[in-house]
Amino acid sequence: MKKYFLLIAACLFGLTACDNAAQQEQEQETTYPNEVIETIMTRRSVRQYNDEPIPHEVMDKILECGIHAPNGMNAQRWEVRVVESQKWIKDATEAYKNSVPADSPMAKQFEDPNFKNMFRNATNVIFISHRPGPCTQLDCGLMAGNMVNAAKSLGVSSVIMMGPIGFFSTEAGKPFLDALALSEGQELLICIGMGYSDEKPETPERKYSKVKYVQ
């Protein structure tokens, strides 16, 4: 009896090992049905960038893809600002650093030797604002989605962020918000850091169990 148990255990172990090896091989060799799906599946949020600027013609295409996102009633209650000024990014980061209490958990990030700026070290920052309405947050999210996937398809990495947004409604953040020159009634909602990647992030786990067919 014990002999059979050991045999079954050995077989099961063998099968699991094969499964893992096959899965790893499959991950390495994944082929996608087309380039759009490959872009969507391989895009990752990047938080380390080199200093190479994004050429204007590349950024223009990314922005164009953004404004072609579906949006409620095609009302386009959004505005977009692209910050290229390294001085603006540096000064905003300095003001932000000064506004964070030294004992706050937020101050931990400044100790990271790789910390370059408050936008996850990106070289360019796209700000998306909205004139709040029933679907405008969704509209801006879809716009951001188009932008990050378009960027990925052009070799540009990105990270969508809400974390830095609160700073711009503080006294210290006001001059930087003013410099964005948004129209009356527009409120900052989201920003996207972009640039050329200096890291290769892992794919964070996705929970396939969240999706169910109803038949």
Ligand X SMILES: Cc1cc2nc3c(=O)[nH]c(=O)nc-3n(C[C@H](O)[C@H](O)[C@H](O)COP(=O)(O)O)c2cc1C
**In the complex, least distance from residue 82 CB atom to ligand X, rounded to whole angstroms:** 18
Find the radius of gyration of the CA atoms of the chain: 22
**In the complex, least distance from residue 175 CB atom to ligand X, rounded to whole angstroms:** 22
Of 12 and 106, CB closest to ligand X: 106
Of 82 and 164, CB closest to ligand X: 164
Of 55 and 163, CB closest to ligand X: 163
Residue ranges in contact with ligand X by CB under 6 A: 44-45, 47, 120, 159-163, 201, 204
Rounded Cα distance between 35 and 73, Å, is 29
**In the complex, least distance from residue 41 CB atom to ligand X, rounded to whole angstroms:** 10
Of 184 and 202, CB closest to ligand X: 202
- What 3-state DSSP class applies to 128? strand
> What is the number of the residue whose Cβ is closest to ligand X?
163
Task: Locate 113 and state its tokens.
Answer: 């030797």
Rounded Cα distance between 205 and 197, Å, is 21
**In the complex, least distance from residue 155 CB atom to ligand X, rounded to whole angstroms:** 16
CA distances from 148 to 36, 43, 44, 112, 143 (A): 12, 8, 9, 26, 9
> Residue 119: which of 167, 172, 174, 161 has the closest Cα?
161
